[in-house]
Amino acid sequence: MNGYINVREAAKRWGVTERQVQRMCGSGMISGVIHFGKSWAIPEDAPKPTRTAKVKPGPKPKNKNGQETVPNDGRRI
């Protein structure tokens, strides 16, 4: 198909695995893809999707004695 590339070509261009490209296509991260059978057609000019940054948890809050705080609902950690 003119104007489209396959999963293998997209993986090479973007420096990721073919499976990652398949997941991006399936999750809707790439606009304009066409799914037919077991194959995906990706627009040639499609930019590499950016990952949404996952927020890493910060340090656990500590009380004035330097101990980690515990939930105030009676549970033990």
pLDDT for res 50: 85
Q: Given this model, what pLDDT does residue 69 score?
A: 62
pLDDT in tens, the chain (77 residues): 789 999 999 999 999 999 999 999 998 899 999 998 999 999 999 999 887 655 566 666 666 776 666 656 655 55
Provide the token pair at 65: 């004695």
Sequence spans of domains, the chain: 4-43
Report DSSP state, residue 56: P
Find the helix or strand (DSSP H, E) in which 41 lies.
Answer: strand 39-43
Distances, alpha carbon 33 to alpha carbons 12, 16, 40, 56, 75, in Å: 17, 17, 7, 31, 49
